[in-house]
Amino acid sequence: MRSFFTILLVLGGTGFIGTGRLPQIQGQAPVSVIHAGFAQMDITPDTAAAKVYIAGFGSNRVATGVHDPLFARAIVLEQPGGKKIGIVSVDLVGFFHDFTLETRKLVPELDYLVICSTHNHNGPDTLGLWGPGFGRSGVDKAYVRSIQKRIPNLIKEAMGNKVPCKLVAAKASAPELLRDGRLPDIKHDDLVVLRFDDAKSGKPHGFLLQWNNHPETVDSDGTLITADFPTPALETISKSLGCKGIYLTGTVGGLMTTIGVKVKDKSGKELPLKTFETMNRLGELLGEKALVALKEAQNVPFSQLEYKSKIVHFPVENRGYQAFFKLGVFNRKAFVETTKGQFESIQPSDAGDRKFWMQSEVGWIGLGDAEFFLVPGEIYPELVLGKFQDPVEPGADFPDAPLEKSLFSMSKAKWKMTVGLANDEVGYIIPKRQWDEKAPFCYGREKSQYGEINSLGNETAPRLSEAFQELFAK
Ligand SMILES: [Zn+2]
């Protein structure tokens, strides 16, 4: 962390930590193959060896066993003579930015490593919020370290099975597979699937599924570890294509959820909510939807593999989060602003009454017409799609706040994907006009809707949008 900060100062404090854009060569035909490799490793915690606090809902939910294993899945992309990029997606609730920065040091062979989480609500606490009681972390540091230590091998394995691939992409809308748990009812209900076909044999070599939903089907009473619907979704596709895949969680704020989504089994019988049956069926239906979409898949021509990333700071205005920092529940550094736009890390316990900030990162990966927007938390669909409620709810705290520029309006790519909880988990990223902590409340409600309590503050969304605009201006 400190070394990164030093580099930033040397660069004149621009905050850019990397850019993988290659110089455009005039008249050069688009390269049609990308080298891609896939790998996965089991990261299921041993519930018999140590107490495992399950993340996602209330505190002190102790695991009693394992329903299905958790995985870390990786894809490595390489353009010969160009950049090497790795994406690792873990079946966990989230990891902080400090974890990403530390892990990157272990894989110097990559130009850029993304660590993202599916945001699983039935896996171990890896953030600290779900321990035995308030202010007590549920993180097993040895478990977290063991995952980190094994990531270089996972990347090596993915590098080892890299082959030149042709890329095809498809998209489908699946509003029936998610529910919006917060008004206004705005969903991000598109799934995107990329298939990497071995350029020599033409056979599928691997795939990537991106979808926008909370993996929390069995809800808050479950005490068995499970990866939720992403695993059956991937298995459904894998079975048909005969290759491995990776799942990326996207726009999950606002609140995209599996809770309350009703599905039917193959015979048409409606399945009971909060069960593993429903969870598996949801995954299966998602996988089937991706397979149907792939029948209409289109080639993705591209000329180069690119990436960009940028450090961003968010003020920590949430009093609960301030306390978690100071109590050491959050295992990450705090930052103070020294001069405008310049930040320095401090121990949270030294912050006193000073305003402090969280350091995070936004990023982008471009694969021709397929693009990934790397968002360090749970972004609301409005901020991705630009579908803001109009007119604004009069009860909102900042009804006149300017609308944030939406992420997808910043690009003309055909297949745009959000990667949520990418490289960090800063909580909910709420449009400022939707912020609603003070009475009168929106929609005539007697109290505020759920969301703000798990957000750093009302400045997070404007700052995130600005950071992406700066990223693309470079
Ligand atoms: Zn969440």
Interval between CA 75 and ligand 1 midpoint (Å): 24
Measured CA to CA, the distance from residue 377 to residue 387 in angstroms comes to 19
φ/ψ (deg, to 5) at 198: -50, 120
Interval between CA 56 and ligand 1 midpoint (Å): 7
436 token code pair: 């609603």
Measured CA to CA, the distance from residue 120 to residue 329 in angstroms comes to 20
Contact 377, 429 (CB under 8 A): yes
Which residues make beta-bridge pairs with 41?
72
Interval between CA 252 and ligand 1 midpoint (Å): 7
Confidence of residue 30 (pLDDT cuts 50, 70, 90): low
Nearest to 383 by CA among 301, 328, 289, 464: 464
- Res. 430: pLDDT tops 90: yes
Contact 38, 73 (CB under 8 A): yes
Concatenated DSSP letters for 155-181? HHHHHHT-EEEEEEEEEEE-GGG-EE-
Is 276 exposed, middle or buried, given 0-12, 13-18 or 19+ CB atoms closer than 10 A? middle
95 token code pair: 């990891």
Interval between CA 364 and ligand 1 midpoint (Å): 22
- Res. 23: pLDDT tops 50: no
pLDDT at residue 348, as a whole number: 84
Report CA-CA distances (Å) from 422 to 90, 109, 127, 316. 11, 20, 14, 19
Interval between CA 284 and ligand 1 midpoint (Å): 22
Interval between CA 156 and ligand 1 midpoint (Å): 31
Strand segments, DSSP code E, in 212-258 are 224-225, 244-249, 256-257
Interval between CA 379 and ligand 1 midpoint (Å): 10
Nearest to 202 by CA among 242, 237, 233, 158: 242
Interval between CA 33 and ligand 1 midpoint (Å): 36
Counting residues of the chain whose pLDDT is more than 90, the rounded percentage is 87
Interval between CA 253 and ligand 1 midpoint (Å): 7
pLDDT digits (tens, 9 = 90+) for 78-122: 998 899 999 999 999 999 999 999 999 999 999 999 999 999 999
- Res. 239: pLDDT tops 50: yes
- Its pTM stands at 0.93
- Res. 16: pLDDT tops 70: no
Report CA-CA distances (Å) from 425 to 63, 64, 202, 273, 281. 23, 26, 38, 28, 28
* Rounded average pLDDT over 237-261: 97
Q: Greatest CA span in the chain, whole angstroms?
A: 65
Interval between CA 381 and ligand 1 midpoint (Å): 13
- For the chain, what is the domain count? 1
Confidence of residue 352 (pLDDT cuts 50, 70, 90): confident
pLDDT digits (tens, 9 = 90+) for 269-313: 999 999 999 999 999 999 999 999 999 999 998 778 999 999 999
Count of H-run helices and E-run strands, the chain? 8, 22
Interval between CA 459 and ligand 1 midpoint (Å): 19
pLDDT digits (tens, 9 = 90+) for 51-77: 999 999 999 999 999 999 999 999 999
Interval between CA 114 and ligand 1 midpoint (Å): 19
Concatenated DSSP letters for 215-282? S-TTGGG--EE---THHHHHHHHHHHHTSEEEEEE---TTTEE-TT---B-TTSPBPPTTSHHHHHHH
Interval between CA 425 and ligand 1 midpoint (Å): 9
344 token code pair: 């320095």
Counting residues of the chain whose pLDDT is more than 70, the rounded percentage is 93
Contact 96, 331 (CB under 8 A): yes
Interval between CA 435 and ligand 1 midpoint (Å): 17
Interval between CA 314 and ligand 1 midpoint (Å): 18
Interval between CA 70 and ligand 1 midpoint (Å): 18
SS3 420: coil
DSSP run (H or E) holding 466: helix 460-473
pLDDT digits (tens, 9 = 90+) for 175-192: 999 999 999 999 999 999
Interval between CA 454 and ligand 1 midpoint (Å): 8
Host domain of residue 280: 1-474
Concatenated DSSP letters for 363-392? EEEEETTEEEEE-SSEE-HHHHH----SSP
259 token code pair: 């809770």
pLDDT at residue 135, as a whole number: 87
Confidence of residue 15 (pLDDT cuts 50, 70, 90): very low
Confidence of residue 27 (pLDDT cuts 50, 70, 90): very low
Interval between CA 119 and ligand 1 midpoint (Å): 7
Contact 18, 84 (CB under 8 A): no
